[in-house]
Structure 1
Amino acid sequence: MSPEVYGSHSLRSWPALLRDLPARICAVLLPPRCLLCGEPGDDGRDLCAACHRALPRNHCACPRCAIPLAVPGTCGHCLRKAPPLQATWASFVYAPPVDRLLARYKFHHDLAAGRLLAGLMLPALADAERPQALVPVPLHSSRLRRRGYDQALELARPLARATGLPLAEGVLLRQRRTEAQSELGALARRRNLRGAFVVRGGRPLPAHVALVDDVMTTGATLHAAALALRRAGVARVDAWICARTP
């Protein structure tokens, strides 16, 4: 037997095996368990096959704002007034059971749910035109201190690793503390976000970026962030979001 071969693995493969060892040990000692129903996970995910099939995928949607539609095409609102986003990709409709995963992630400090959601977003992004960088929509520093983590950033990190795209962390800043968007109507949401974002100077920006966020409702937050990036010289801004409200 060749001196470079031990069993079925070459010596050159051992560094990779050792690097993967912690994940392999965790998979044996802590097998995946569905975060929704508690049944054993499927395909290495913390989600069972039945709950995976039940996820409300956003198959037919407006390409500009990702609002779910009955038939393919651009929605009337985007035809009347083009949004600052060139394209929006929403993996799911904000409906059961994905809304439960998002609530666990966003409001109950369940980062495992965030990692699961980021992985589940990837198939829907397969056909998206690749930007030059991913930009997470930031929290204001005061809200970040209270929550302890930025949900958009924690989604963007695994997406950047999986796609090989640069993560432009800290480029976009939320300079003004705003009221919680969930408590406001559509017009108040737009007023609430006016001037909320600013782009940090000193670094050249790529021509095409994609904003990453968890949920899109009226689009006020993403539109305000996109306008700030475009004013700073970005030619095209897309959005990659987990779920879109119908």
Structure 2
Amino acid sequence: MAAWLLPPRCLLCGLPGEAGLDLCTACLAALPRLPPACPRCALPAPAGEVCGRCLARPPVQAWAVAAFLYAPPLDRLLPRLKFHADLAAGRLLTQLALPAFMAAPRPQALLPLPLHRSRLRRRGFDQALELARPLARALGLPLLTGGLRRRRATAAQSGLEARERRRNVRGAFAVPAGVPLPDHLALFDDVMTTGATLDEAARVLRTAGVRRVDLWALARAPPPG
């Protein structure tokens, strides 16, 4: 009855949705699914092999997975959640991304990358948490919301070079005292760009005793050029 009274409409173009999604057939086909990618950093790589950079300098994380490339038209859909609190967009993105995470190695828990409290107050919600909550529920995973905190506000990463991004987030995270952490967890964020923020958070979690940290992101920014 609800579907008949309020049929789905495409959030990108306004045409009728398909298959119960708020997305039409054409826009669904246009979404930039991640091609075969390096399993350590999620950057596109031939046949999904470990890339040369990760072979030369193995990253902190054991695995990295993203559902999409951050490219049109996804770059119009995700900001609706992130900057305009469009929870319908977040719900749609979780539905679309779920198969990629179902195919990933299964962690013991999912930990969304936290915002600093000052940014959370300004924005009013945490986009990583809003995406991770239904994802954890669909996968039957515990959701850890207090396993990591940002102990200082950092400048926005957008517009910074890779080296500046790493410097910007150095020392930004801490594991609260007395918080039990599993041996294997997945750290989740909406977009993985250079990976500097997730790398720093993963390093802190490993130092705190987590044996394996995987990185999950809704989208992976394509490499420069």
Equivalent runs, 1:13-32 vs 2, <5 Å: 25=2, 27-32=3-8
Equivalent residue number for residue 180 of structure 1: 156
Residues 180-232 of structure 1: per-residue CA shift (max 9 Å, x gap): 00021100000000010111122321000001111001000100110111111
Equivalent runs, 1:114-153 vs 2, <5 Å: 114-153=90-129
Question: What code does the residue aligned with 1:169 have?
Answer: T
Residues 143-174 of structure 1: per-residue CA shift (max 9 Å, x gap): 00011110100010000110000000121101
Question: Post-superposition shift, 1:117?
Answer: 0.7
Equivalent runs, 1:158-169 vs 2, <5 Å: 158-169=134-145
Equivalent residue number for residue 30 of structure 2: 54
Kept in 1: contact 2:170–2:200 (CA 8 A): yes
Question: What code does the residue aligned with 1:100 have?
Answer: R
With normalisation by structure 1, the TM-score equals 0.87
Equivalent residue number for residue 196 of structure 1: 172
Kept in 1: contact 2:102–2:139 (CA 8 A): no
Kept in 2: contact 1:45–1:116 (CA 8 A): yes
Instruction: Indicate which of 195, 211, 231 corresponds to 2:187.
Output: 211
2:218 partner SS:
strand
Question: Post-superposition shift, 1:70?
Answer: 4.0
1:78 equivalent in alignment to 2:24:
no
**Structure 1 CA distance for aligned equivalents of residues 209 and 48 of structure 2:** 32
The list of structure 1 runs, each at least 4 consecutive aligned residues, that deviate by more than 3 angstroms after superposition, is none
Kept in 2: contact 1:64–1:74 (CA 8 A): yes
Equivalent residue number for residue 20 of structure 1: none
Equivalent residue number for residue 97 of structure 1: 73
Equivalent runs, 1:106-117 vs 2, <5 Å: 106-117=82-93
Structure 1 gap segments, 5+ residues each? 1-23
Question: Post-superposition shift, 1:124?
Answer: 1.2
Equivalent residue number for residue 199 of structure 2: 223
**Structure 2 CA distance for aligned equivalents of residues 29 and 227 of structure 1:** 49
Percent identical across equivalent pairs? 65
Kept in 1: contact 2:146–2:179 (CA 8 A): no
Kept in 2: contact 1:68–1:93 (CA 8 A): no
Aligned residues: 222
Structure 2 gap segments, 5+ residues each? none
1:238 partner SS:
strand
With normalisation by structure 2, the TM-score equals 0.95
Structure of larger gyration radius: 1
Question: Post-superposition shift, 1:106?
Answer: 1.1
**Structure 1 CA distance for aligned equivalents of residues 92 and 215 of structure 2:** 19
1:123 partner SS:
helix
